[in-house]
Amino acid sequence: MVVLTELEGAILSEIHHRGAGTAFKVRKAFLSSPSLEWSGSSGAVYPAIRRLTTEGLIYAEAQNSARKGSNLGLTARGVDALNGWICDLDRASGLGLDPFRLRSGLWDELPVAVRLKQLAGLLIVLKTDIANLEAYGAGLDRVEKRRVDLSILQQKARAGWVEAELSRARGDDLKIET
Amino acid sequence: MVVLTELEGAILSEIHHRGAGTAFKVRKAFLSSPSLEWSGSSGAVYPAIRRLTTEGLIYAEAQNSARKGSNLGLTARGVDALNGWICDLDRASGLGLDPFRLRSGLWDELPVAVRLKQLAGLLIVLKTDIANLEAYGAGLDRVEKRRVDLSILQQKARAGWVEAELSRARGDDLKIET
DNA sequence: TTACTCATGTAACAAGTTACATGATTTA
DNA sequence: TAAATCATGTAACTTGTTACATGAGTAA
């Protein structure tokens, strides 16, 4: 069975489930989506698509329209590989690289005044991000909508955590002042 | 100001906040922690520490004990860089690369029977993971404890989401059968 | 003395990033 | 016709991974 990287899985699903017909459209999806964490750089996408084509997971047929750019699609093997990737339980349940979690234990070590400022700033950024995600959510296809909804859920969970930390930190602050 | 990668920030915080005295101990922390998502490979850690030392963020003094291995510590510049990294709001609030979110929109596209099986399996894996994290949580220092607590929170949020999806999928299943 | 842990490192490889180059087609 | 968009790609670089090599100290 072919094992796909996260980027390769994302590319296959963009083609298969979200109708990206060309490498360029895959790139555009990455560039514009707040939930897809790749830069959409041509230096990543084109080599990956070439790789997938060489392995027989993607086929490319010339386009008949004026616009050049080959129409991409998944072969039967490609669909199998994609399904295997989608249903990989261990990968799916992995925590991933989370910059928030990585720092969460460290904010506690900051002096109370700095900590309060940091957490307050964080809360603002998170709430702005939630608002942006909610605005972006309108008029998306199911696949991306689902991902954005989860992103919102995640940011709200973080915001709740920060609020709890903030009231704790304010408690610490009082203890020091008195 | 020096800008640190996520790995470099994690290395500096292991040395400064969690008392990792040698590169080896930093590696061990990565190898054993379920919340630090690096392999702890020597091929990543040693070059990174050399980089940080060259930039004057880490100092290394020879150890006087029998055990060889230099004692690592942060210079004043190192502490500054670490604090800058910890307080980087944009980085902290970023969603990161989340394999669960990436797939969340795709499970919906699976045939109902497969979807039910997938989600049920996912729930089991998540609950096992939560149990493991809770067991691991005992007897940790504050920094790592905090990160593990957030991991548990995250996995519980996912489990809740999966349960909601499961009941929705079971509804779809009934509609098809009847 | 055998095996384990401490300790450091390199080499080959994989896969992403930015920056640059190129050229066709479409729209203002 | 100028600017924007569609479209594809390469080159230099960064940084991570696995696998391997080496050697010292410690415990069975």
CB atoms within 10 A of CB A167: 9
Cβ(A142)–Cβ(A154) under 8 Å?
no
In this prediction, residue B139 carries a pLDDT of: 86
Candidates A12, A18, A91, A106: best to mutate against B (most CBs of B within 10 A) is A106
B46 touches chain A (CB under 8 A): no
State the nearest residue by CA to the C1' of D18. B41
pLDDT bracket for residue A173 (50, 70, 90): low
Structure-token pair, residue A56: 């027989």
Query: For chain B, how far is it from start to end, CA to CA, in angstroms?
Result: 65
Cross-chain Cβ contact A143/B109 below 8 Å:
yes
pLDDT bracket for residue A125 (50, 70, 90): very high
In this prediction, residue B2 carries a pLDDT of: 85
B111 touches chain A (CB under 8 A): no
| Spatial distance between the Cα atoms of B23 and B7, rounded to a whole number of angstroms | 13
Average the pLDDT over B40-62 and give the result: 94
Structure-token pair, residue A95: 């925590």
pLDDT greater at residue A61 or residue A55: A55
DSSP secondary structure letter of residue A97:
B
Task: Give me the helices (H) in B18-98, please.
Answer: 23-32, 42-54, 76-86, 89-93
| Spatial distance between the Cα atoms of B12 and B31, rounded to a whole number of angstroms | 16
What is the dihedral sign for C-alpha B14, B54, B47, B3? positive
Residues B122-154 have pLDDT tens digits of 999 999 999 999 999 888 999 999 999 999 999
Could you say which of B87, B109, B157 has the minimum Cβ distance to residue A153?
B157
> What is the share, in percent, of chain B residues with pLDDT greater than 90?
83
In this prediction, residue B61 carries a pLDDT of: 83
| Spatial distance between the Cα atoms of A147 and B108, rounded to a whole number of angstroms | 11
Does residue A51 have a pLDDT over 90? yes
In this prediction, residue B86 carries a pLDDT of: 97
Mapping DSSP to helix (H, G, I), strand (E, B) and coil, where does residue B70 land? coil
Average the pLDDT over A45-64 and give the result: 90
Residues B86-134 have pLDDT tens digits of 999 999 999 999 999 999 999 999 999 999 999 999 999 999 999 999 9
Does residue B69 have a pLDDT over 70? no
Does residue B67 have a pLDDT over 80? no
In this prediction, residue A178 carries a pLDDT of: 55
> Under 8 Å CB-to-CB from B77, ≥6 apart: which residues?
B2, B55, B56, B57
pLDDT bracket for residue A176 (50, 70, 90): low
pTM: 0.93
Does residue A163 have a pLDDT over 70? yes
pLDDT greater at residue A26 or residue B70: A26
Residues A80-89 have pLDDT tens digits of 999 999 999 9
Residues B27-45 have pLDDT tens digits of 999 999 999 999 999 999 9
> Under 8 Å CB-to-CB from B139, ≥6 apart: which residues?
none
| Spatial distance between the Cα atoms of B57 and B33, rounded to a whole number of angstroms | 24
Structure-token pair, residue B94: 């970023």
Show residues of chain A in contact with B156, CB under 8 Å.
none
Which CA distances in Å does B77 have to B1, B58, B73, B87?
9, 8, 11, 15
